[in-house]
Amino acid sequence: MNTDQFKHFALVYKLRSFTLAASQVPMSPQGLAKSIRKLEQEFDVEFFEADASGARVPTEFGDRMMDFVNEAELQRVQLVWEFDRIRARRQKRVRVASCLGISGFIGLRLKEAFEARNPDVRIDLIELSDDACDEAISLGRVDLGFTLAPFDGRLANVPLFTEPFYLWINVKDPRSKKECVTMRDLDGACVSSFGDGIKCDAVLRKRLAEAGSAPTFFNSPEVYWHYENALLNRSIGLTVQHFVALKAFCASDEVCAVPLDELNWSIGLSYIPSHVFAEHEARFVDFVTTHAEAMAIEARMPAC
């Protein structure tokens, strides 16, 4: 029993055909069938039966074997991650994930500033969607993560920075004259938001539902389109405070930025509670918790 046989078996299980499976390896259908037969002989079972159309239908043994193959692949992946964790510690690397939007805001600047002061340590920073970032930390793919509220209950979290959400609103919309827009104010509006996998979108929709407010949505992960849609008066655009001051979003008097009541964008540094920090990792944590807020405030200084 070996990993090649697992791969051959999984292809036949998925495609229901020796010929189709063999074309993806690639090898001859006869050679792939021989590989499967050897695996069956090892356990003295049959994994597939041919139906009237000639398709290879899994038997009960085949279904159970597929469970085993999936579990073996998961364990292999977890072993690869564990090996990478060991190598990273030996090489003084810190594996850090970042939710979308945080890297460009303060993540990269924290990495560069820390590495400049600690040339013996390297920060490996990857950017993931909000939910994928939490999952990467919880599975041990990374050592730490810049995450967003609401924070994952499986993880320990150090709060770093909080700022309010804003709405870009065309000046022709009466809501642009308000000092603060409430959830009820958005009833019947069209709102440009970030869509699935982004925590603030899920929180916004929940708050709107609780307030009995029912807007329609335009979804885009790119904040540029939130501003552009407001500029064209197609929708109200969701954004955060540090974007409001950027020159790119101050070019027109046709759009106002108005605070959104009861919704904040909060950044934290998250990790598995059982994680024991190596000395170089602890240095990075101390640096981030000391400098993150100051860097965030500097990053959102008015530029208009």
Reading the chain (304 residues) residue by residue, the pLDDT tens digits are: 788 899 999 999 999 999 999 998 888 989 999 999 999 999 999 999 988 888 999 999 999 999 999 988 888 888 888 898 899 999 999 999 999 888 888 888 899 999 999 999 999 999 999 999 999 999 999 999 999 999 999 999 999 999 999 999 999 999 999 999 999 999 999 999 998 889 999 999 999 999 999 999 999 988 999 999 999 999 999 999 989 988 889 889 999 999 999 899 999 999 999 999 999 999 999 999 999 888 777 765 554 4
User: How does pLDDT run across 92-103, given as a tens digit for each residue?
Assistant: 999 999 998 888
DSSP 50-68: E-TTS-EEE-HHHHHHHHH
**Region class of 135: left (phi > 0), else alpha (psi between -120 and 50), else beta:** alpha
**CATH architecture for residues 3-78:** Orthogonal Bundle (1.10)
Q: Could you read off the pLDDT of 220-260 as tens digits, one per residue? A: 988 999 999 999 999 999 999 989 988 889 889 999 999 99
Q: 162-266: what fold?
A: D-Maltodextrin-Binding Protein; domain 2 (3.40.190)
Give the residue extent of every domain in the chain.
Answer: 3-78, 91-160+267-300, 162-266
User: Do 91-160+267-300 and 162-266 agree at the fold level?
Assistant: yes
What is the predicted pLDDT for the residue at 303?
45
Looking at residue 87, the DSSP 8-state letter turns out to be: H
Under CATH, what is the fold of the domain 91-160+267-300? D-Maltodextrin-Binding Protein; domain 2 (3.40.190)
Which of helix, strand or coil describes residue 227?
Answer: helix
Helix axis angle, 3-15 relative to 60-90, nearest 10°? 130
Output the CA–CA distances (angstroms, integers) from residue 69 to 2, 10, 144, in the order listed.
11, 8, 30
| Cis bond upstream, residue 215 (ω within 30) | no
